[in-house]
Structure 1
Amino acid sequence: MVVRQTTCVRRLAQGCRSTQMGFWRFLANKRVTLDRVIEDWSTPTQGACAGRHVLAIQDTSEIKFATTKENRRGLGKVKKGTGHGVLLHPMLAVDADSGIVLGLAGGRAWTRSGAVTTPHSARQLADKESVRWVQTAEQAKQTLANARLITVIDDREGDIYAHWALTPAPNVHLITRLMNDHAVLEGGTVRTALAHQPVRDTARIELRDRADRPARTAQLSLRFTTLSLKRPKNTPDKDLSDSVPVHVVEVVEPHPPAGAEPLHWILLTTHAVNSLADAWQIVQWYRRRWIIEQFFRTLKRQGLRIEDSELATAERLLKLVAIAAKAAVIVMQLVQARDGHDDQPASLVFSPHEIKVLDILNSRLQGKTPRQRNPHPHHTMAAAAWVIAKLGGWHVYETKPPGPITFFNGLTYFRALAQGYALNDL
């Protein structure tokens, strides 16, 4: 998938009928379970996170597949009931300082089986889809056990009281954007308590280009305070603590450009916020959440095009989505590695045989001048990315760094060379 930039089984097989049948048999094999594929996501991540402060960023994406009224392919409803497909909830492990993607730390994939008749407020947490926020955080505690510190980051959907009550631990913190205006022990709600706080600071930040918003510089005002969330009165989960202390950081754009929606984030966190530096650090860590949006784009239209798959059953589509999720992470790691900001080992992506081929190519692709030589440490992802970029047509004297297309082209060439080298050993 990484090399051929597709999840289409026919294109992956490149016209070879036996290879195509092998892929189909693998996806149909009852011993190849969705749980086992997802369990394998985190195998390389466990070593990569050692000693780091890791941002464990989670979110949900709806993956819509083409269906007809006569053939839903066993898929449940997504897109507010207007389509059918799979829900994917991954957690990315990201280095807090560099923003480097370390791998997947956990998650789940599922399709809805039908309408739920019991009201949401009457169901226990374990019977709600929202339990995924808590369960995935628990997976991360195991996967990232060797990390120095873990900060779980969610968008507004993850703002549920049970998450605040159950997830934090001595080395596990939480940052979530406010969705529910929680009642607080201090009286009133989070929003009313913030309204009484003075503006503490202002700063300009760069907002990235998005489908619904062009890039721009935003002038933000900042407030922060400390509050205690009260357990909701109507929750059926009575075993949760009566209250949870949190720190609250608000940034708002008071004067957005004409016609633009102002940026307004209210961030709740278990990290201590005792100074302006602490507050802006929370904002900076939350801004890393955009990396998981990049992941979804890599998985969908701007990369592997998972929604184009024509597999006939939900069971096989779920496995394919889980496999493609790991492939999307590898693509992101290779693109990030080009800058050499992190010394992750090449073994995160490449097999021992492929690393041997990379060594041979590395010695042959280097020139005589310092600029023409691979500047990165031996057997790192950055060194491998330099080789792959060279194979894809990138020249060291180009002012722009190699992009995803260059890497895809380089990987295609590299795969052919690695296969040829393997055949030479037969």
Structure 2
Amino acid sequence: MAMLQLEINDWAQENFGACQLGDVRRTRRAVKLAAQVAARPDGSTPEQTEAWPDCKAAYRLFDRDEVTFDALCEPHWELTRNRDGGTWLLLGDTTEIDFRIQREISGLGPTGDGKGRGFFLHSSLMIDADTGEIAGLAGAELFHRKPAPKGETRRQQMNRERESEVWGRVIDRVGTPPEGAHFIHVFDAGADNFEVFCHLQIQKCGWVIQAAHKHRRVFGPEGDRLPLQALIDRQPVSGMSELSLRSRKQASGTKQSSRTALLEVRHAPLTMPIPKTQTPFVQQCGIKRIPMWVIDIREVDAPADVKEPLHWVLLTSEPVQSFDDARTVIGWYEKRPVIEDYHKCLKTGCRVEERQYETSERLEAVTGMLSVVAIRLLQLKYVARSEPNVPAKRVVPPTWLEMLQAVQRGKRQIRTVRDFFRSLAMLGGFLGRKSDGEPGWITIWRGMNKLLMYLRGAAAIGRRYG
């Protein structure tokens, strides 16, 4: 709960007050603008700033060479990484920021199948391994896609700059965990390559990565070399588990309903040898073999309409000596979709792809500020759903509670965090009927925007007539 700072001006100062932008006046402007953006994250720059002098100042800020994606984000990244102890998951993934090919914006690169225009954002989202609480972004990188040369060989590909290198660069940007803390990077199959494992080992970080290459040859616990899948097939079932799966579209195009999957779990130690074809980084780092564990999670007795039963093969640095150890690692991987929720906050909640700037450099800087604002939105969603019974007065500023109590529909007292967020969502259009369930983050955010307007109006009246 302590990671969410509701007071918007304090939040802006904490996350942007240490930005190095070449002039302290620019830093002060960035703090003020961040508070304005956070108050209305889905609005345009004129809507967020409301007055022409502030809007013009925002345009000037993003037009400065010193105001970059990295410069705006670095204080937040450092704040997130500064942990006294505990185990933290670093959820990594890349998302496409597409501004559409019809718009005339200089400096963008190809996206999608080459017909879009934009750039890519690779983020490392830090959450508490035990509670799932959102700490923030520990690092990120924006990059532009470069078309691969036609007809290149595998060796030529490994020796040129590759898009997949972003995994290692962001791992290095996150760096070594502070003393007493344990960082575990959680990635999908896109990160399954020897170079990524080398970066993780050098930075003294753990990992949970879904395997993409099940036919690669590894060394088993007896020292024999065999395909990864063959090693898995040798292992007995160590236990059974259940996993709640959301509805999703299958590769065939049909919709797969939500269900509770029954899973068989197997695990084994292994050693991954250096591949025959090596990147320059792998050649230079000197790592020849990497010990790790594999966990196989396979759905059994799937319903007849399920054409693609769940099957995960996870590679992890964490010792897996028992079924309980395996279940812990599986639980960490189950949290990986939170990074996808973060991307939704950035694209839908902050409407990053709708920004009307005319150069890639300005859009990159705007994306930097919005990437931090999106964390605040994700934290709101987490707190509203995970800690509903905490007394509201322990979390919410007293003036907020007083104002919300005064303007809410009905006279029910706001006692808990759940009461606060439901009342806030009602300001944003949530009806609050018994059949409606819990409010979504969009209605919560709209209600937050309206509450802040009420508070600003009350403060203005107080200054004028008080």
Code of the aligned partner of 2:218: V
Q: 1:24 to 1:3 in 2, by over 3 A?
A: same
User: C-alpha offsets along residues 204-251 of structure 1, whole Å, 9 cap, x if unaligned?
Assistant: 211123455432111211111111001001103323311111100011
5 Å-filtered alignment, 1:25-424, equals 25-46=60-81, 49-68=83-102, 71=104, 73-112=106-145, 115-116=148-149, 121-122=155-156, 127-141=161-175, 145=178, 148-168=181-201, 172-181=205-214, 182-185=216-219, 186-210=224-248, 213-236=256-279, 237-239=282-284, 240-257=286-303, 258-300=305-347, 302-339=348-385, 341=387, 358-363=397-402, 372-375=413-416, 388-389=424-425, 392=428, 400-420=437-457, 423=460, 424=462
| Residue aligning to 1:379 | none
Maintained 8 Å contact 1:87/1:109: yes
Query: In the aligned structure 1, how far is the partner of 2:45 from the partner of 2:276?
Result: 51
Q: 1:373 to 1:84 in 2, by over 3 A?
A: closer
User: C-alpha offsets along residues 324-349 of structure 1, whole Å, 9 cap, x if unaligned?
Assistant: 211111111012112463999x9xxx
Unaligned runs of 5+ in 2: 1-36, 251-255, 407-411
Q: 1:248 to 1:99 in 2, by over 3 A?
A: same
Maintained 8 Å contact 2:404/2:451: no
User: 1:155 Cα shift?
Assistant: 0.6
Q: 1:393 to 1:66 in 2, by over 3 A?
A: closer
Query: In the aligned structure 2, how far is the partner of 1:307 from the partner of 1:161?
Result: 34
Query: In the aligned structure 1, how far is the partner of 2:122 from the partner of 2:327?
Result: 28
Query: In the aligned structure 2, how far is the partner of 1:410 from the partner of 1:184?
Result: 54
User: C-alpha offsets along residues 58-112 of structure 1, whole Å, 9 cap, x if unaligned?
Assistant: 10011111124x9463211121323221100011111111112111110111223
Normalised TM-score (structure 1): 0.83
Query: In the aligned structure 2, how far is the partner of 1:383 from the partner of 1:160?
Result: 47
Q: How many equivalent pairs are there?
A: 403
User: C-alpha offsets along residues 107-130 of structure 1, whole Å, 9 cap, x if unaligned?
Assistant: 111223555577564466893322
Task: Tell me the C-alpha RMSD between the 2 structures.
Answer: 3.3
User: 1:414 Cα shift?
Assistant: 2.7
Moved more, 238-247 or 125-134: 125-134
Query: In the aligned structure 2, how far is the partner of 1:422 from the partner of 1:50?
Result: 38
Code of the aligned partner of 1:411: M
Give me the identity figure in percent: 25
Query: In the aligned structure 2, how far is the partner of 1:410 from the partner of 1:147?
Result: 40
Normalised TM-score (structure 2): 0.76
SS in 1 for 2:358: coil
User: 1:315 Cα shift?
Assistant: 1.0
Query: In the aligned structure 2, how far is the partner of 1:337 from the partner of 1:207?
Result: 22
Query: In the aligned structure 1, how far is the partner of 2:248 from the partner of 2:307?
Result: 13
Q: 1:129 to 1:204 in 2, by over 3 A?
A: same
Q: 1:147 to 1:95 in 2, by over 3 A?
A: farther
User: C-alpha offsets along residues 140-194 of structure 1, whole Å, 9 cap, x if unaligned?
Assistant: 235x526632111011111110221231369621110001233213312211211
Query: In the aligned structure 2, how far is the partner of 1:115 from the partner of 1:266?
Result: 29
Q: 1:270 to 1:206 in 2, by over 3 A?
A: same
Structure ranking higher on relative contact order (CA contacts 8 Å, 6+ apart): 1
SS in 1 for 2:309: coil
Code of the aligned partner of 2:95: S
